[in-house]
Structure formats: C-alpha cells, structure tokens
Amino acid sequence: MRKRKTTIESRTLKARWVFPVDGKPLPGGLVEIHGQRIVEVGSDSGRSDVEDLGNVAILPGLVNAHTHLEFSNLSKPLGEPGMDFVDWIRRVVAFRRQTADTSHEAIGRGLRECIGSGTTSLGEIAQPGWPVEQFEYADIEVTVFLEVIAPRVERVAPAMEVAQHHFDLAETARRWRPGFSPHAPYSIHPELLAVAVALLTAEKAPIAFHLAESREELELLHSGSGPFRDLLDELDAWDPTAIRPGTRPLDYLRMLESAHRTLIVHGNYLDDVEIEFLADHADRMAVVYCPRTHQWFDHRPYPLAKLLSAGATVALGTDSRASSPDLSILAELRFVAERYPGIGRDVVLKLGTINAARALDRDGELGSLKPGKYADLTIVGLPDRDAADPHDLLFNSNEPVLQTWFRGVPVDKDYKAATGGRAWC
C-alpha cells in the first residue's frame, strides 16, 4: 500500500451534482475539504478557487455493511443460480479447505476491488488468522467482525478466548475497528451468543449475526431436522441442546436485544412480528440486505418495502464473490433501484451510505456529506442527459466510479492500476 501525504491541504471540489444524502441533491454543488474533514457543503457561489470535476456526482464514500473478502479470487459464484442453500454451504466448506494458503491474497484483492468501486468503509467477516497488516495500511476503514463457529457447548469457552484476543489486538489498531460475528443459529450454541452479547456491550462494539437466511434454517429451528441437520451430522457438529423445537428467529433477536449494536445479516425470511421487533429497536439493530446474493439463491421476494415502512434500519452489503458477481455497492444500489421502483431514490441511496454507516455505528463520522465528517467521497460519472430526479442519473446508468477519496485524498488510481486499470461500477 502506498504512503499517505502528511501535509494538511484545503480543496474545494465542484460537480454537476452533489448528493449530501441528509439533504436534497445540489446542482453545481461544492464540497470544501480541510485535511481529512469536510468543512462546507453548498452550491456554487461564483468562487474561483474550485476544482471543477465536470459531469460527475459527488457522493459520500459508499459503505458496504457485509462482506467475506476471503472469496475475492473467485471469478464467479460457487455453484449454480437457485441451488439448494445447504449444498452451497458444502461448497463453501470445501473451498475454504482447498484455498487456505491463498486466502490472504484473496483478501488483498477484495480490498482493492472495494476501494476501486467507491467503498470507503467496510464490514468484513474475518476468519481467525486474518491478515492484520493488510487492514492496517489500506485506504479504507474496516470493521473486522471476527467470525467464530461453536455449535457444541464445549467449544464456547475456546471461541470466547479467541474473541478476547481479537479485542486486545484492536487496542493498537490504526485503521480497523473490532467487531464479533457468532456465525448463525445452525453454527453456534446459544450460550456463545449470550456471552458474546455481554462482551460486545462492555466493549461498545458491533455484533453481526446471519439470521433468517434460508428456508432450511427455519426448518432446523422449528423441528431440529431437515437438510441443515443432515449437514451438521456429517460435520459431527450437532448438539441436541443447542436448538429447542419451535425456535424462531425472534428468539435470537431477543437474545441480541441488549447488545451495543447488532447487524442482522440477510433476514430473507423475517416474519411480520420480527420486522416490527427490528423497527422498535432501529436505534441499535439493523438488517443487512445483500441484493444480488439474495437473487442468486432465488429466495422469496425480499421484504425491503415492509422493513422500511415499519421503520427498521436497512443497510446494503455485497456478501462475497461466492454468491455475488462483484463487490460493488453502486451495482447493488442500481439493482435495488431497478427492482423496487416504488421506493424513493433518495431512500435507496441511504441504504449504501448513512444507513450502512449507522449499522456499523459510524454514522457520526461517515455516510453523508456534512461539515465535520470525514472527507470520504465517491465520484461517479454521469450520463449526458437530464432527469427530473437527479438520482436517476446515478441509478439508471452504467457510468462507473471514477475516483475514491479517503480522508481527503484521492486514492483509487493506485488500486485501479493494481486491478488492470478497470474503473469499477
């Protein structure tokens, strides 16, 4: 990774459109930066000291609330579209075993792709032994959710020792922040979740939990049987004390209720009561929707409109290249805008900016263009046409991300060079 400049600079950028996110889009807008921070956002007042970027949009740096970068060497997702979810899990397990020696390389490639596609903050699900040095010096802020698997009660204590080491390591971190991810209902014992909530509350750190992701998961919770039970038996990972018959996702939401900040990853099969629960706890619980991964498995229609109308906090993630074509949040935003025409385009933009920042407990510093926040910016090319709603120029377009700014400095050119000069969209 390249060395960053240490001198404090002031710059004022102008664009055809500036999207503050917490206010209306600004035609001919300006963003003034001093050092790492934004000092002013407004419209062109005839100043002569501006850098006019031309027919582009300036957005807050995009925020990807959920990734698994270890799969970033994949050129296409594992398996076939619409495949059985548990069979896909088998492929994931086999892939991890086959590629353990190259996972660090894949993570580096994934970081470069995220940065080149306009992402300036990331929620990464990391395995024990993840490459700390890559996150320390990358031009991106990462919340590293250490993932643990502990389906049997005897594995709870060792898993929490690993978690405590993760938080101890974070005390000297430069660029990354610690989080914790007890993986999912089928892969952790409830005792682990209870202890993890206590730790995360004390550390004031976020927890990420895959929940209501598949029909097979709901079947396991309800009856202790089905394809997931077969898989757990194959892996010698079934503990009959872990899931009582009649369990539902709501039971896990209640266990997570007191955590400092919770990300419910996927939530594809949440029912109305669970959606209302999340809406009632929107100040500290968020749902992370991974649109193109959801499409890959041909799940039932995602309850996005219902979640939003209820008042839940919804953020976007890309998941991984094991189930999605790339790591571009802009591509996810465009996907959502196309498939949910009834949702306001300003609301769609929030899913990959301020909402995702809020999910990661970083909305005080990131996610919108506002004086005092970090000068993390995404510069997107715009088509040569007009639109009644300027958001249409962003979403109904194939124009790419042209620049990524991190802490007041453009950084994307380095990463495009490292990935063959591609301008990610």
424 inside domain: no
If 0-12 CB within 10 Å is exposed, 13-18 middle and 19+ buried, where does residue 37 land? middle
Residue 416's CB is within 10 A of a number of other CB atoms, namely 19
pTM: 0.94
55 inside domain: yes
224 and 351, same domain (yes or no): yes
- pLDDT lower than 50: segments of the chain: 1-2, 414-425
317 inside domain: yes
What's the pLDDT score for residue 49? 87
2 inside domain: no
423 inside domain: no
CATH number at residue 83: 3.20.20.140
185 and 288, same domain (yes or no): yes
252 and 127, same domain (yes or no): yes
5 inside domain: no
Q: CB of 368 within 8 A of CB of 22?
A: yes
What's the pLDDT score for residue 7? 58
- The count of domains in the chain is 2
44 and 69, same domain (yes or no): no
What's the pLDDT score for residue 292? 98
What's the pLDDT score for residue 422? 38
What's the pLDDT score for residue 417? 36
What's the pLDDT score for residue 413? 53
What's the pLDDT score for residue 229? 96
Phi and psi at 344, nearest 5°, equal -55, 140
CATH number at residue 24: 2.30.40.10
pLDDT, one tens digit per residue, over 246-284 is: 999 999 999 999 999 999 999 999 999 999 999 999 999
192 and 248, same domain (yes or no): yes
14 and 120, same domain (yes or no): no
Enclosing domain of residue 19: 10-60+369-418
